[in-house]
Structure 1
């Protein structure tokens, strides 16, 4: 367990540099799930994620000799930005090793903070292995993203803030990748109030820590794949696993579809942009992954908001299709003047908004004189899509719904 005094000291250390982020009641979520749901908005933190807390606390506690050597870290992005901005604040050199698939937003964000970047490896663990070698060869100080008590204490300051704002919390829901965040948060919360339930949430595509928790021993994954890149960790840390086993009441998992739905829900209904890792707690609530009593006070940590714009676009588009607010159909028409206009008039009468049309008369699958029309429509749900289908059928159109 991370000592509470060290977490309190970390809060003093980072106070003038790290934001105290909002911890607010989410009224819509509270009403739907018959509880008091509070969101800790670390997506509004400096650098857009909680990692700055632990990074700054660690670097602040380095000796003068260590600071003179400079620092190295391995990160998929958020820890990297935390280390980079903290190193800049102390005027020391920082080299960041990032996986080659790291989103451009995070790479550019780190570079703008003045750190040097090396892209290496297919995932965090490969980048981590290279970073250890680099730090040793260059005689720089390695800043671990989670296996460090100063880092864990810095992350634990989130729980201090949550319990200051809502001291009667019954549950704290925490994303888990390497385990640094939950080590600090769970240790802090349990020392202040042992009755608080700590729910750990991992991504199914990165199951190492979940399986290790169940087995009570480290179990590494052969591969990892999830849209929650901030918690996409292949190997389980024995150090943070010990904290998790000691302090976590329940460990659950969510899949990518559940994470994507939570991202879209937060964007639409809470006006909050979060990354995959930041959405797993809400995904766990929305998909009933843990049980709680009606009226319970639930605090959910939104760990970060650094989502790649392209990924966000994919999530929005897939979400619109899944919620039946967008549909794409394929219709074969006789290729003659006015045929397309007649079809669009039918769609107009059905109040379906056309957002895209593709007109193909050259496909080898078509009869001579025919044209294949692919149309994407904005719709208002299942009933509206059914009425669009009825309108097409009643006007003699046969069509195939692509999605």
Structure 2
């Protein structure tokens, strides 16, 4: 893992392309939860999510190792692909992204807008990922995984911004997909020598990481049926699980109803948009209301890339839209060891 100097260097690299995102303490959220609540606004990046940081660092480090790359290929359901598309565009590299059939049209459009070739293939992420790996071997292109030390180092720069800007936080709530975000937060907390508790948040319908921590071994689930596709993890990555197991204070489960409620709360109290995974940290903090009373806490709003129809249904209280329930690329991989 990286040290503090390497993390600061990564932050300098990231800030050449995107400014630090804000963290705000919102009075209405404080009244709602009975404590001071700081929100880390990763929804304010140009990619609409925290993962853009990892893509920038990963590709810069990759170019140092392999300066004559013919191109990159990956599989995704959204934010991982948007991150890589922006970084590849800036580096002048070709990028091919495989997504499952029926993937979010808005996320697909964002990737294409950055110059990536987006190919819909297969019924789910696993099918798309296997096809991407095959194409990488056939074409000699570099296959980009969804979890890698350079990706963790890149996204950890958001944790550095938050923890240095807001001292004396009692705890921070972080959503867990495949794990880069929470691993970066844990590592940064430790490098800064802080005693802040880090609480991981999973969907109750995709709780592979929670089960794995509880049982002390990798536990995979058959399904991950949550509209919060950024947390739709069926198969934990061993390297991420070890960091989470030793560094997180607790793992909390939140259901889709609680996540929808948190999306509405963020809209009403802060006028910010959140995708499912982006609102999960607040949902967990609301669940922890009594524990947090009078404390100083933070929640990570990890992204805002939610399709308009899904958001409209949530804000108007209509029946849930189920078109984001398939497993996520960054999470539902079938070969964790390949990372």
| TM-score (norm: length of structure 2) | 0.89
Q: Deviations over 1:206-230 (max 9, x none)?
A: 1211211211211111111111111
1:286 is matched with which residue? 286
Structure showing the higher strand proportion among its residues: 1
Q: Deviations over 1:116-161 (max 9, x none)?
A: 1122234333332332222222221122222x10100011111100
* Higher RCO, Cα 8 Å, sep 6+: 2
1:23 is matched with which residue? 23
Q: How does 1:90-101 map to 2 (within 5 A)?
A: 90-101=91-102
Deviation of 1:277 (Å): 0.6
Q: Deviations over 1:56-95 (max 9, x none)?
A: 1000111363552211122111110110010000001101
CA distance in 2, matches of 1:208, 1:311: 25
CA distance in 2, matches of 1:34, 1:105: 36
Let me know the Cα RMSD of the aligned residues: 1.9
CA distance in 2, matches of 1:264, 1:149: 34
Q: Is 1:107–2:108 an aligned residue pair?
A: yes
CA distance in 1, matches of 2:292, 2:282: 17
Gapped regions of structure 1 (runs ≥ 5): 322-403
Rg larger in structure: 1
2:144 is matched with which residue? 143
1:191 is matched with which residue? 191
Aligned residues: 319
CA distance in 2, matches of 1:192, 1:274: 28
2:58 is matched with which residue? 58
Q: How does 1:358-377 map to 2 (within 5 A)?
A: none
- The answer as to whether partners of 1:261 and 1:319 remain within 8 angstroms in 2 is no
- The answer as to whether partners of 2:313 and 2:319 remain within 8 angstroms in 1 is no
Deviation of 1:319 (Å): 6.2
Deviation of 1:53 (Å): 0.3
Q: Deviations over 1:320-363 (max 9, x none)?
A: 99xxxxxxxxxxxxxxxxxxxxxxxxxxxxxxxxxxxxxxxxxx
Gapped regions of structure 2 (runs ≥ 5): 321-339
Q: How does 1:70-81 map to 2 (within 5 A)?
A: 70-81=71-82
Residue aligned with 2:317, SS: helix
2:42 is matched with which residue? 42
| TM-score (norm: length of structure 1) | 0.75
Residue aligned with 2:96, SS: strand
Q: How does 1:1-400 map to 2 (within 5 A)?
A: 2-63=2-63, 65-66=66-67, 68-146=69-147, 148-288=148-288, 292-318=291-317
- The answer as to whether partners of 1:25 and 1:36 remain within 8 angstroms in 2 is yes
CA distance in 1, matches of 2:155, 2:89: 20
CA distance in 2, matches of 1:238, 1:202: 16
Residue aligned with 2:213, SS: helix
Q: Deviations over 1:268-319 (max 9, x none)?
A: 221011100100011112223x763432211111000010001011112326
